[in-house]
Structure 1
Amino acid sequence: MNRQNGFSYQFDNSACKTCGGRCCRGRQGYVWISVAELQAMAAARKMAVEIFTRQFVREFRGRLSLQERVVNGEHFCCFFDPIDCRCTVYEARPEQCRLFPFWKLSADETREMLAECPGVSLKDEGG
């Protein structure tokens, strides 16, 4: 069980094996990336940075984000494989993905994540 100070919840990453990648798909959103992360993902895919950027990266308000694919109204991270339910750049995935679910969230967002992610649960009393 993963726990982080300052968070009211904990995370059991063994739930990832059966959840179907709920953190990688759903509503529209942003997976923010740095230039270093972009370069690492391009290297992991054995692609030139320029080609990788054109194919998988978008800019929004001066920040870089991974592109999404939309299938039947559902948004998927461009690196989520919906058949195998896995990340195709897992070893080089961005910090935002590595830190999930320990993000600074509002109370409403925390409740939503507790309902959506089977690996997230409130910490035990005293935990």
Structure 2
Amino acid sequence: MFVISDFIRVERMPGFSCKLCAQCCRDRIVVLYDRDIERLSEAGFSDFYEEASELELYLTGAKYRMKLKENGECIFLKDDRCIAYEYRPDTCRRYPFIVGEDFILASISCPGIKWDEEGDAEPFREPSEEISRALRRIIKL
């Protein structure tokens, strides 16, 4: 089973503190944009992506997605840690949020979200640029 989307629109940015559970690195489609491919390739990583489906391209504007291991884990996950963390894709950099110009989406399944606290949207804004632009084309947010 793969999670396609578990995001809901929220009125304010909740707090966040990563629990290092690696739940977001399993059974999820990680879309990749050109700058993700360039960043990871320049860091020496290869054979980590494949073409996105037509639906993924339509929904996210991403032409590629991360390859996964047979068990559904990201190929960069080793001992519950990302071996490419410094070079990780924008999908991973923005998770568990998508921050647009006038909307915030938050993952309902991330255990690190602190719903009762106020958070800072700015660190998530730049990695959200491409997907928020694609979402705005197809959904009224």
The TM-score bracket by the shorter chain reads 0.5 to 0.7
Which residue is 1:97 aligned to? 92
Once residues 39 and 11 of structure 2 are traced to their aligned partners in structure 1, the CA distance between those partners, rounded to angstroms, is 30
Which residue is 1:66 aligned to? 66
Task: Tell me the TM-score normalized by structure 1.
Answer: 0.63
Structure 1 residue runs without a partner (length 5+): none
Give the 3 Å change call, closer, same or farther, for CA 120–37 of structure 1 in structure 2.
Answer: same
Which residue is 2:24 aligned to? 23
Question: What is the CA distance between 1:6 and its match in structure 2?
Answer: 4.1
The amino acid of 1:123's aligned partner reads D
Task: Tell me the TM-score normalized by structure 2.
Answer: 0.58
Whether 1:80 and 2:77 are equivalent positions in the alignment is yes
Give the 3 Å change call, closer, same or farther, for CA 7–102 of structure 1 in structure 2.
Answer: farther
Aligned length: 96
How many percent identity over aligned positions? Answer: 26
Give the 3 Å change call, closer, same or farther, for CA 94–6 of structure 1 in structure 2.
Answer: farther
Question: What is the CA distance between 1:121 and its match in structure 2?
Answer: 2.4
Give the 3 Å change call, closer, same or farther, for CA 77–7 of structure 1 in structure 2.
Answer: farther
Whether 1:34 and 2:58 are equivalent positions in the alignment is no
Once residues 69 and 77 of structure 1 are traced to their aligned partners in structure 2, the CA distance between those partners, rounded to angstroms, is 6
- What SS does the aligned partner of 1:123 have? strand
Whether 1:11 and 2:10 are equivalent positions in the alignment is no
- What SS does the aligned partner of 2:50 have? strand
Q: CA RMSD in A?
A: 2.4
Once residues 24 and 7 of structure 1 are traced to their aligned partners in structure 2, the CA distance between those partners, rounded to angstroms, is 25
Structure 2 residue runs without a partner (length 5+): 1-9, 58-62, 99-103, 119-141
- What SS does the aligned partner of 1:69 have? coil
Please identify which structure carries the higher helix content: 1
Contact 1:7–1:102 under 8 Å retained in 2: no
- What SS does the aligned partner of 2:73 have? strand
